[in-house]
Amino acid sequence: MTKMLIATTALVGVLAAPVAAQTIGVSIPAATHGWAGALNFHAEQTIRELGERYPDLQFVLTTTPDPSTQVSDLEDMVATRNIDALVVLPFESEPLTDPVRRIKESGVWTTVVDRGLAQDGIEDLYVAGDNTSFGRTAGEYFAQTLSEGDKIVVIRGIASTIDNERVAGFQEAIEGSGIEVLAMEHGNFNRDDAFTVMQDYLSRFGEIDAVWAADDDQAMGALAAIEQSGRQDEMWVVGGAGMKEMVQRIQQGDPQIPVNVTYPPSMISTAIELTALHFMTSAPITGEFIIASELITPENAENFYFENSPY
Amino acid sequence: MSTATTDSPKSAGWSIDLRVLGPILALLALVALGMFLNPNFLSYANITNVLARSAFIGIVAVGMTFVITAGGLDLSVGSMAAFIAGLMILVMNALIPVMGAGVGIILVGMLVAIVAGLIAGAINGLLVAKIGIEAFIVTLGTMGIYRSLVTWLADGGTLSLDFAMREIYRPVYYGGIMGISWPIIVFAVIAILGEIVMRHTAFGRHCAAIGSNETVARYSSVNVARVRTLTFIGLGLLVGIAVIMYVPRLGSASASTGVLWELEAIAAVIIGGTMLKGGFGRIWGTVVGVLILSLIGNILNLTDMVSPYLNGAIQGVIIILAVVLQRKRSNSR
């Protein structure tokens, strides 16, 4: 039943409708990769909890496979569900900017999550992760742990602003440390692509001291390639985003995966909770809420492990 | 060769000779480029990597050659592979408490993959051949269906094979005999069988006949619906086999598994000299096409020659060049 909720792009009312209740619309990308899957999981869970806590609040959740469907979903929400607030994680910034602005102008309280709109000042609340800090946190670990002349390879994500910001943050942090970056290729947040890229790195370079895989799916692919080559003792791998298998291995002290960097998909919970608070309390809730990336180490790993999350 | 030999039709003499050269020249040029750019290119490890990773697309592309030769097309193979991989992992994990981790479960998993492939192929084939819907539309539909199903099975995340099973299953991708890994052996066997079926059996000739003129084929008492359905069933079976080789590699399946496999397989088939509109198919050409596609990616990863942003562009140029080479010469006869 809960799967139905995630799988459909149609509008789904979560609670029965008491009169004069407030309705909050939530629009997020569909679960097409691990991180987005966890986003859906946390959105659904938060909506269920809030529904129990505040019977006066109703929620409408839509998941969309592409930007144009998301625009249609938003139009449907306004036209047929009469929403009072909108929590939206834009699929892409540019195409969603104008539709969200129009919804905001029609008097809907608006929260934008993670991917900012192309124009400033539209939303009431902006909740986001910090991609530069994601790259910098990883980079600082590399700079502290490795010594001058050590060699690393990087597997980047899908070519995008997100990826560029992460890589810029990383490069800034390792600058001056004397670490040599042998190569950077794209793994497209995909295990198979990262596996292939890592295999080729391993044939190309006789010495690699560490890998920044920048994403946990990519790290899984890279680890499989390293295992195949039998060079596990030579290098360690840092992924990112806090996939639960990775967190578990860090907790167990796996020498190949010393740390991880968070980019929590549960930021959607932060956004929905804060939006609900705007209606249910008189606390001022406007502005920006930026969630910094944290370093997951064997010592603090248990705080980042979510048993039921699919990611 | 100025005159055609007597035992082959006149028009074929020139055209086949020259169309043969296009993909082979492209392949040799890539190998030479690879050797020039990186001394490790011809190392045993790199060659094994490239051939083994070509095996998935290669096995699928052999089946795709039959479908395209018979005038069809299958866009669903990538999604189908992801769905079958997900299904296989779920079944194997579910059986661990019942059967205990062991080879038995792997055999059941393989059976699941093959049966699922046959059924999925039969659904495509029957919709195309019996109901008469365009193959493009049918398989576009099933492509979306299988992609959604695997996302749903995985709850948006990743389905992972139990760790104990992974250790037992692993050698199917990473192991081999006499230093040749299993995916390469399976790919080679399937390619050779495919070549025999395409060239030396009635089925192969019927595929070409249907692809070049369906009406004439029907008047020549070829059972068009049956042959066409069988091409899709065969492709489904090969997708199942590809999945059997794929799952032990990373032991997981997710919504991003097998993305764009269909286009890579179709591209490989066309680079190899098979006609996209049907009527002529060449299995060994498909194999060359698959290797060309894999080598481009491999060479780009082995060098810093171009910005990684341009990888797709380089691949596109080489694909078009490989096809232009053969078309130009075959037209000028």
Instruction: Domain ranges for chain A, please list them.
Output: 2-123, 131-261
Going by C-alpha positions, the residue among B12, B87, B39, B32 that lies closest to residue B295 is B32
* pLDDT digit string, tens, across residues A247-301: 888 989 898 999 999 888 889 999 999 999 988 888 888 888 988 888 999 888 8
Domain-located, residue B223: yes
What per-residue confidence (pLDDT) applies to B5?
A: 42
Domain-located, residue B262: yes
Judge whether A156 is closer than 8 Å to chain B, CB to CB. Answer: yes
Contact A90, A100 (CB under 8 A): yes
Domain-located, residue B168: yes
Percent of chain A with pLDDT over 90: 37
Helices B224-250, B103-129: crossing angle, 10 deg rounding:
150
Q: Please, which pLDDT band fits residue A225 given cuts at 50, 70 and 90?
A: very high
Going by C-alpha positions, the residue among B230, B219, B187 that lies closest to residue B70 is B230
* A92 secondary structure, DSSP code: S
What per-residue confidence (pLDDT) applies to A146?
A: 92
Taking the C-alpha atoms of residue B133 and residue B228, their distance in angstroms, rounded to an integer, is 12
As assigned by CATH, the class of the A131-261 domain is alpha beta
* pLDDT digit string, tens, across residues A186-214: 998 889 999 999 999 999 999 999 999 98
Is A203–B152 a contact, with Cβ atoms under 8 angstroms apart?
no
Judge whether B301 is closer than 8 Å to chain A, CB to CB. Answer: yes
Structural domain of B207 = 56-280
Domain-located, residue B219: yes
Q: Please, which pLDDT band fits residue A10 given cuts at 50, 70 and 90?
A: very low
Query: How far from the centroid of its chain's Cα atoms is residue A159's Cα?
Result: 16
What per-residue confidence (pLDDT) applies to B333?
A: 41
Domain-located, residue B7: no
Lowest mean pLDDT: which of A124-128, B238-242, B304-308?
A: B304-308
Domain-located, residue B31: no
Contact B27, B287 (CB under 8 A): no
Taking the C-alpha atoms of residue B173 and residue A195, their distance in angstroms, rounded to an integer, is 13
Spell out which residues of chain B touch residue A220, defining contact as CB-CB under 8 Å.
250, 252
Is A311–B154 a contact, with Cβ atoms under 8 angstroms apart?
no
Judge whether B199 is closer than 8 Å to chain A, CB to CB. Answer: no
Domain-located, residue B322: no
Going by C-alpha positions, the residue among A198, A175, A171 that lies closest to residue A256 is A198
Is A37–B155 a contact, with Cβ atoms under 8 angstroms apart?
yes
Q: Please, which pLDDT band fits residue B273 given cuts at 50, 70 and 90?
A: confident
pLDDT at A58 over 80: yes
Domains held by chain B: number: 1
Minimal Cβ distance to A32: which of B45, B160, B255: B255
What per-residue confidence (pLDDT) applies to A170?
A: 94
Per-residue pLDDT averaged across B290-296, rounded? 91
* A149 secondary structure, DSSP code: T
Domain-located, residue B30: no
First to last CA, chain A: 20
Judge whether A66 is closer than 8 Å to chain B, CB to CB. Answer: no
Per-residue pLDDT averaged across B30-37, rounded? 89
A176 CB neighbour count, 10 Å cutoff = 9
Contact A51, A273 (CB under 8 A): no
Is A199–B53 a contact, with Cβ atoms under 8 angstroms apart?
yes
Minimal Cβ distance to A32: which of B46, B151, B311: B151
Q: What is the mean pLDDT of chain B?
A: 87
Judge whether B40 is closer than 8 Å to chain A, CB to CB. Answer: yes
**Fold classification of A2-123 (topology level):** Rossmann fold (3.40.50)
Judge whether A33 is closer than 8 Å to chain B, CB to CB. Answer: yes
